[in-house]
Structure 1
Amino acid sequence: MSAPVSAGVIPELFRGLFDDAAVFPPGNLPVAEAVPAHRVHRAAWYAEAVGPFLCGAGRLGELAAAPPASGAVGGATAGGAEEAGAAPLRVGLVLPGGSAELAPALAAAAPFELAGVELATKDAAEAVAELDRLLPPHVPAAVELPRELLRGDGLDAVLDVLVDSPYRAKFRTGGLVAEAFPDEDELAAFLTGCAQRGLPYKCTAGLHNAVRHTDPETGFEHHGFLNVLLAAQETDRAAAAAVLAERDGEVLAKAVRALTDRQVTVIRNSFTAFGTCSIAEPLGDLATLGLLSSPDPLPQEDR
């Protein structure tokens, strides 16, 4: 990252980092609008930064009815099987209802290119068993446990289950109420617990800005995705918490520029992606901090 940022080039640190969660709160973009917007992102110069389109199990019917890609000859079938060489829609399947949703959701997602599954559960071992039983071997998955089960000894127990599996952990870093946002120490415990085990993870909610800040409208304390990226290389909980607490964007940008290729690899092998209801905001923040150079205008706000 120490080399100058070339226009139109997505640095390795940010490739595939932003999963498109436009249809989830607080964005709540209608599926019929979110799918064309996602296709624009996937065709843009910054496409390497954009991950799959995230969709809840209950909205796969809407997704199947979404408009085909523009220029597809003869239309499309079920929103995912585009014709005329159009890229199929890569879908990350989000299952908030637990393992009972897995089999029917996998069947409903058959028309799409399944990029991954995110399974919320209260029982990590049961979720791993169901994923082993039902998930196609080429499809990655992440397992999310309620935060109240990840405190104290519960965190170690869950991470130990996942580290013996092929699946990532998933951690919720925000939401629609203040209590949905973990503080620095709680998030640091998760990050370092994963780092100590070599367990990859993704995050979701509240991370669409680069730098830790207090939202002026809600008063909620938001973590910054740059903070999380830099903290991902730490195995010491206090050190990780200190990085998560940093509010100076220039300090974080300087630290990012100083990363070696090896550090970038370690970070991204740990922190694989996060869901964001806006693709525009994180890109805009990176450009403002001089960590991304745009050859064309960045996308307008897509929430």
Structure 2
Amino acid sequence: MSRSTGFPRQAQLFDHLVDDAAVFPPGLAPVDVAVHEHLDLRDGPYAAALGPLLLPAAAAPELADLAAADPRTGQVPLRVGLIVRPGGALGPLVDAVGLLRQVPAVTVASVEVGWGEDWRRTLDLDLPVVVEVGLDPERQAGLDEIEQAIGAGADVRAKFRTGQTPTWTWPDETALAGFLDEAARRGLAFKLTGGLHHVVRGDYAGEPMHGLLNVLVATHDALDGGRTTDLARVLAVTDVEHLVDRVTALDDDAVSRLRASFTGFGCCGVLDPLTELEALGLLPERHTA
């Protein structure tokens, strides 16, 4: 899959794009392993593409001890996103934020919750909030509330799950395209979670997976007025050469606009998409020094 593309080195398309979800399924890394390996990644050749370490709120006490004991957090604290899965209680999240704010070795970058009756409680934490929405009609209600909160000055992003779980059927191209269309028309920033281990749409080990390059191109097209049917066709493309050509044609303004919309995604194996991007020559040199 190796290819030299002449990708514009000044473009920041992949900066801090991939959040480290190593402890979540199917990775299920122990918290101590996840913290150690994330700090290794933070100091390694892919550091610029790495987002925060994502952890369940309940892991905050263990995280506090691990981060404080690692000398690498002395000058640069460990950035984390605290997660409560949809349907989970928010009390542990509030407690976790309070605890970690007393730990200099940790910086809480954001909190992530599922949309529900009490998600707005998280706005009182004075942190960026990411709210996972489902499918219609719940999606519309969730996005309405997110839009209202942003209008009132809150820092809120929408979140959509692109991978299959025991309780979530894999969202096909039309389902994901509908979310991208809706987010673009509303002017909402968003992140994704689950899947996106590969750069191009395909079936991997018998499971359908969306492709990262497909999502980037579809987001660009949505911001240019593309609608659900058009975006679904982009998400279904399996021609990696075509997708690379589309991505490398983006200028700096297009990249800035795209990344202001698609802010990142959680992946339990962050090296999966990054090594594929590197093989295609898409990562700027400073990512792979």
How far residue 154 of structure 1 moved from its aligned partner, in angstroms, is: 3.5
2:27 alignment counterpart: 27
For the residue of structure 1 that corresponds to 2:175, the secondary structure is helix
Q: Does 1:286 find its partner at 2:277?
A: yes
* Match for residue 119 of structure 1 among 113, 118, 137: 113
For the 8 Å contact 2:177–2:235, the answer to whether it is kept is yes
Q: Does 1:220 find its partner at 2:211?
A: no
For the 8 Å contact 2:83–2:93, the answer to whether it is kept is no
For the residue of structure 2 that corresponds to 1:227, the secondary structure is helix
Cα deviation digits, residues 190-244 of structure 1 (max 9, x gap): 111000010011110111211111012xx21101111111111214111111111
* Match for residue 204 of structure 1 among 187, 193, 209: 193
How far residue 163 of structure 1 moved from its aligned partner, in angstroms, is: 1.3
| Alignment map for 1:82-231 (pairs within 5 Å) | 82-83=73-74, 85=75, 87-96=76-85, 97-110=88-101, 111=103, 112-123=106-117, 126-128=118-120, 130-132=121-123, 134-136=124-126, 139-145=127-133, 147=134, 150-151=135-136, 153-165=137-149, 166=154, 167-177=156-166, 179-216=168-205, 219-231=206-218
- Identify which range, 241-250 or 172-181, moves more after superposition: 172-181
For the 8 Å contact 1:211–1:249, the answer to whether it is kept is yes
Relative distance call for 1:142 and 1:168 in structure 2 (3 A) is same
Aligned partners of 2:228 and 2:99: how far apart in 1? Answer: 41
For the residue of structure 2 that corresponds to 1:114, the secondary structure is strand
The one of the two structures with greater contact order (alpha-carbon pairs below 8 A, sep at least 6) is: 2
1:238 alignment counterpart: 229
- Identify which range, 275-284 or 157-166, moves more after superposition: 157-166
1:16 counterpart letter in structure 2: H
For the residue of structure 1 that corresponds to 2:13, the secondary structure is helix
For the residue of structure 2 that corresponds to 1:143, the secondary structure is strand
Relative distance call for 1:28 and 1:291 in structure 2 (3 A) is same
Aligned partners of 1:70 and 1:107: how far apart in 2? Answer: 21
For the 8 Å contact 1:212–1:224, the answer to whether it is kept is yes
Aligned partners of 1:258 and 1:198: how far apart in 2? Answer: 23
Identical-pair percentage? 40
How far residue 68 of structure 1 moved from its aligned partner, in angstroms, is: 5.1
For the residue of structure 1 that corresponds to 2:192, the secondary structure is strand
For the 8 Å contact 1:22–1:28, the answer to whether it is kept is yes
Relative distance call for 1:192 and 1:295 in structure 2 (3 A) is closer
2:60 counterpart letter in structure 1: L
With the length of structure 2 as denominator, give the TM-score of the two structures.
Answer: 0.85
For the 8 Å contact 1:56–1:94, the answer to whether it is kept is yes
Relative distance call for 1:98 and 1:270 in structure 2 (3 A) is farther
2:6 alignment counterpart: 4
For the 8 Å contact 2:81–2:111, the answer to whether it is kept is yes
How far residue 156 of structure 1 moved from its aligned partner, in angstroms, is: 2.6
1:180 counterpart letter in structure 2: T
Aligned partners of 1:271 and 1:240: how far apart in 2? Answer: 15
| Alignment map for 1:52-91 (pairs within 5 Å) | 52-66=52-66, 71=71, 82-83=73-74, 85=75, 87-91=76-80
1:51 alignment counterpart: 51
2:81 counterpart letter in structure 1: G
For the residue of structure 1 that corresponds to 2:144, the secondary structure is helix
1:40 alignment counterpart: 40
Relative distance call for 1:296 and 1:169 in structure 2 (3 A) is closer
1:262 alignment counterpart: 253
2:119 counterpart letter in structure 1: A
The CA RMSD measured in Å over matched residues stands at 2.5
Relative distance call for 1:185 and 1:37 in structure 2 (3 A) is same
Relative distance call for 1:297 and 1:69 in structure 2 (3 A) is farther
* Structure 2, unpaired ranges of 5+: none
* Structure 1, unpaired ranges of 5+: 73-81, 299-303
For the 8 Å contact 1:249–1:289, the answer to whether it is kept is no
With the length of structure 1 as denominator, give the TM-score of the two structures.
Answer: 0.82
